[in-house]
Amino acid sequence: MSTVKHALTHLPRSRRRRDVVENDAFAAFARRIVRAHGRRVATGDVEALRDLVALSANLDDAIGEAVIGLHAFGYSWAEIGSRLGISKQAAQQRWGGQS
């Protein structure tokens, strides 16, 4: 058994990292889609403006789900906050009561 694999199997399950399904390319694709939708609205598709604004709410919901899931998985508020560029207190205040 490789040293890395052996080390990972001895971590508490809550601290093991999930296998990555979506990667940086997936996130880049999502960003391109949102920017393209913004350009479409900017060319006169006023009816699509409401959909574009709704994406913001969907993104906020997805971030909340991700943060709550990471905390339930075992990441501390300090670890989560540092990835978001905010304090652990700010992360806990924003998402701590949503679990």
| DSSP notation for 21-60 | SS-HHHHHHHHHHHHHHHHHHHTT-GGGHHHHHHHHHHHH
**13 domain-assigned:** no
**8 domain-assigned:** no
7-35, pLDDT tens digit by residue? 444 545 555 566 666 688 888 999 999 99
Query: How many domains are contained in the chain?
Result: 1
**70 domain-assigned:** yes
**39 domain-assigned:** yes
**31 domain-assigned:** yes
The reported pTM is 0.69
User: In this predicted structure, what is the pLDDT of residue 4?
Assistant: 44
Band the pLDDT of 67: cuts 50, 70, 90. Answer: very high
Domain containing 87: what range? 22-98
Average pLDDT, the chain: 85
User: In this predicted structure, what is the pLDDT of residue 15?
Assistant: 57
**4 domain-assigned:** no
Segment holding 77, helix H or strand E: helix 77-84
**42 domain-assigned:** yes
**6 domain-assigned:** no
